[in-house]
């Protein structure tokens, strides 16, 4: 990093958990970073507050109905205000040195691709984008010469374990999973799970959707698809291991049978800091790891009968084409329905499986195809949920 000029940064999803964690880290050394763009979905008040604090050049709100509110809140500043999906893409195309892609869902795809096209560094926290359009995103990064840094704790751990090694030297990659809040529950117990129970993750402080994904272990299935695109070692060489303490975030085994693991406290600021400072390291105020206090680390194989989401995701990769996008879209709708009290917990993966089995569109060739598949899969899922609604 050039010490004479700050690194320019844009944060897409600035008011979410990943975005706010990123800004917490930037506050630790403000002089090293200059904020180009901050975006939010609909929280105009918080976005305006952050744009003022960090002297952002641009503030974009995805919800166009919040444009006037954001404009009024930033009227006494030099911050440029915009609203809508197209303006998110324009903000991404400004070409910041480092962009955090943390918009939830497929809405994050167009700005992420626009940021990659600039050929700079993109830190990816939006797993749905890579799941739905992994081949397209990786091709865009290669063609533009962009650097794609994974921010998910598991993929960032793999990235760190690969430093100094080569991907063709890897024998196996192991993604670790906490197992979620229902790791020891029977299927009978999980049948009556409430949304409040599902979002209460034992280790991580996350949003509602990703917390439910962790509870069903769909989160690990989506991460399996991500890892398949990010680290091309062959699907058969990517394993999942349940590790309740969430201390080892992932492991890489090389051909000589040496295994490297990345350890750390369960704090998303640690992998974010790794990406923000890369290829350097930065000081943080995160809690240091105290293995003596933790005492022991436990491991177990995942139970695919109680948690079939992982098998669904692996099958989606093997099927290829549109199937990962269908899985992602159906899961988003099913999780939202569960959080709204319209379906039961165990019905989430059942619905996703039925949508995959009943919808076979042609293989997508571009972003328009992916959005078309995503839209159709969502509509089919909504219709199905009407039939199973409690």
**Residue 3 CB coordination number (10 Å):** 7
**Residue 189 CB coordination number (10 Å):** 11
| Whether residues 162 and 81 fall in one domain | no
| Whether residues 156 and 293 fall in one domain | yes
| Whether residues 82 and 156 fall in one domain | no
339 is a domain residue: yes
Domain closes at, from 103, 124, 150: 150
pTM to 2 decimal places? 0.90
| Whether residues 206 and 176 fall in one domain | yes
* Residues whose CB is less than 8 angstroms from the CB of residue 323 and which lie 6 or more positions away in sequence, other chains included: 315, 316, 356
How many domains, the chain?
3
| Whether residues 39 and 128 fall in one domain | yes
Q: Which domain holds residue 363?
A: 320-390
234 is a domain residue: yes
191 is a domain residue: yes
1 is a domain residue: no
Tens digit of pLDDT at every position of the chain (390 positions) = 445 689 999 999 999 989 999 999 999 999 999 999 999 999 999 999 999 999 999 999 999 999 999 999 999 999 999 999 999 999 999 999 999 999 987 889 999 999 999 999 999 998 878 999 999 999 999 999 999 999 999 999 999 999 988 999 999 999 999 998 999 999 999 999 999 999 886 666 667 888 899 999 999 999 999 999 999 999 999 999 999 999 999 999 999 999 999 999 989 999 999 999 999 999 999 999 999 999 999 999 999 999 999 999 999 999 999 999 999 999 999 999 999 999 999 999 999 999 999 999 999 999 999 999 999 999 999 999 998 765
| Whether residues 366 and 231 fall in one domain | no
CATH number for 327: 1.10.1740.10
DSSP assignments along 65-129, one per residue: GGHHHHHHHTTTS--EEEESHHHHHHHHTT--SEEEE---SGGGHHHHHHHHHTTSEEEE--HHH
| Whether residues 168 and 244 fall in one domain | yes
Domain closes at, from 150, 183, 199: 150
| Whether residues 235 and 248 fall in one domain | yes
309 is a domain residue: no
Alpha-helical segments (H) within 145-245: 153-161, 187-190, 195-198, 208-216, 218-230
Domain closes at, from 268, 303, 338: 303
| Whether residues 170 and 97 fall in one domain | no
354 is a domain residue: yes
| Whether residues 180 and 237 fall in one domain | yes
310 is a domain residue: no
| Whether residues 193 and 117 fall in one domain | no
CATH number for 75: 3.40.50.720
311 is a domain residue: no
Residue 87 near residue 64 (C-beta atoms within 8 A): no
Alpha-carbon span 239 to 173, nearest angstrom? 6
| Whether residues 201 and 137 fall in one domain | no
């Amino acid at each position: 990093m050039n010490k004479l000029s700050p690194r320019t940064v844009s944060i897409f999803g600035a008011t979410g958990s990943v975005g706010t964690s990123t800004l917490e880290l930037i506050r630790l050394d403000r002089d090293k970073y200059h904020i180009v763009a901050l975006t939010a979905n609909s929280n105009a008040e918080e976005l305006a507050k952050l744009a003022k604090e960090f002297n952002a050049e641009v503030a974009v709100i995805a919800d166009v109905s919040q444009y006037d509110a954001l404009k009024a809140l930033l009227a006494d500043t030099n911050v440029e205000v915009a609203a809508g999906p197209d303006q998110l893409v324009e903000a991404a195309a400004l070409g910041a040195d480092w962009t955090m892609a943390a918009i939830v869902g497929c809405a994050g795809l167009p700005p992420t691709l626009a940021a990659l096209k600039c050929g700079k560094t993109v830190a990816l926290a939006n797993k749905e984008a890579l799941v739905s359009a992994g081949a397209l995103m990786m091709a865009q990064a290669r063609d533009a010469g962009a650097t794609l840094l994974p921010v998910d704790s598991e993929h960032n751990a793999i990235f760190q374990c690969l430093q100094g090694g080569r991907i063709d030297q890897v024998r196996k990659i192991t993604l670790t999973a906490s197992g979620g809040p229902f790791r020891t529950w029977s299927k009978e117990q999980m049948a009556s799970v409430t949304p409040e129970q599902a979002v209460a993750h034992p280790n991580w402080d996350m949003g509602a959707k990703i917390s439910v994904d962790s509870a069903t272990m769909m989160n690990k299935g989506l991460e399996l698809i991500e890892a398949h695109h990010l680290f091309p070692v062959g699907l058969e060489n990517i394993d999942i291991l349940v590790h309740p303490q969430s201390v080892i975030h992932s492991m890489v085994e090389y051909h000589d049978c040496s295994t490297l693991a990345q350890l750390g406290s369960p704090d998303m600021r640690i992998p974010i800091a790794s990406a923000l400072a890369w290829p350097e390291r930065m000081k943080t105020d995160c809690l240091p790891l105290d293995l003596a206090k933790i005492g022991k680390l436990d491991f177990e194989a995942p139970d695919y009968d109680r948690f079939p989401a992982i098998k669904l995701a692996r099958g989606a990769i093997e099927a290829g084409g549109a199937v990962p996008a269908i899985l992602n879209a159906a899961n988003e709708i099913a999780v939202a329905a569960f959080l709204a009290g319209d379906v039961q917990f165990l019905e989430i993966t059942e619905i996703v499986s039925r949508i995959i089995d009943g919808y076979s569109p042609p293989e997508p060739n571009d972003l328009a195809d992916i959005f078309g598949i995503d839209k159709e899969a969502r509509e089919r899922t909504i219709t199905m949920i009407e039939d199973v609604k409690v």
